[in-house]
Homo-oligomer: A and B are copies of this chain.
Amino acid sequence: MTGPTRKKLSGIFTPNMVPLDENDRINEPELRRYTEWLIANGISGLYPNGSTGEFTRFSFEERKEIVRIMSEQAGGRVQILAGAAEANVRTTIQACEYYASLGVDAVAIVSPFYYKISDESVYAYFDEIARNTPVDITLYNIPQFANPISLDCIKRLSEHPRIIGLKDSSRDLPFFLNLMNEISPLRPDFVFLLGCEEMLVPSLVMGGDGGTIATSGIVPEVIMRMYHLTKQGQLTEAVEIQYKVLQLIKSLIFGTDFPEGCRAGLEIRGFRMGRGRMPLSPSQRCDRQSLRTHLQCLISEHGLVEEPPGGCPTRQPARLEVDRVEIERIVSSVLSRLRQQGAV
Binding site secondary structure of chain A:
helix
Checking B90, B144, B243 against A277 with a beta-carbon cut-off of 8 angstroms, the contacting residue is B90
Q: Give chain B residues whose Cβ lies under 8 Å from the Cβ of A180.
A: 243
- The one of B58, B89, B177, B199 in contact with A243, judged by C-beta atoms closer than 8 angstroms, is B177
Smallest CB–CB gap between A251 and chain B, Å? 12
A312 near B: Cβ within 8 Å? no
Q: Is the Cβ of B59 less than 8 Å from the Cβ of A91? A: yes
Copies per complex of this chain: 4
Q: Is the CB of B279 within 8 A of A124?
A: yes
Q: Does A284 contact B (CB under 8 A)?
A: yes
Q: Is the CB of A206 within 8 A of B198?
A: no
A144 proximity list for chain B (CB < 8 A): 116
In the complex the two chains form, what is the Cα distance from A125 to B278 in whole Å?
7
| Residue numbers in B under 8 Å from A250 (CB-CB) | 178
Please give the distance in Å from A175's CB to the nearest CB on chain B: 9
Task: Bin the interface of chain A by size.
Answer: 35 or more
Please report the C-alpha to C-alpha distance between residue A144 and residue B116 in the assembled complex, in whole angstroms: 8
Interface-located stretch among A70-78, A107-115, A291-299: A107-115
CA distance A247 to B281 in the complex (A): 29
* Stretch from A31-39, A166-174, A219-227, A264-272 at the B interface: A166-174
Q: Is B278 a contact of A112 with CB atoms below 8 Å? A: yes
Which A208-231 residues sit within 8 Å CB-CB of chain B?
none
A98 part of interface (Cβ distance < 8 Å): no
Q: State whether the Cβ of A290 lies closer than 8 Å to any Cβ in chain B.
A: no
User: Chain B residue with minimal CB distance to A127?
Assistant: B279
Beta-carbon contact of A146 and B114 below 8 Å: yes
Of B115, B128, B171, the residue contacting A145 (CB under 8 A) is B115
Q: What 1/0 flags go to A191-209 for Cβ under 8 Å of B?
A: 0000010110111011100
Given contacts A59-B91, A174-B171, A247-B181, contact A121 B280 (CB under 8 A): yes
Closest to A280 in B: B124
- B199 near A177 with CB under 8 A, answer yes
Additional A-B contact list (10), CB under 8 Å, known A57-B88, A173-B199: A56-B114, A115-B278, A121-B279, A121-B281, A123-B281, A124-B278, A124-B284, A171-B172, A178-B250, A202-B206
Show 11 A/B contacts (Cβ-Cβ < 8 Å), sorted by A: A89-B277, A114-B114, A116-B258, A121-B278, A125-B278, A128-B279, A171-B174, A173-B202, A177-B243, A202-B205, A205-B205
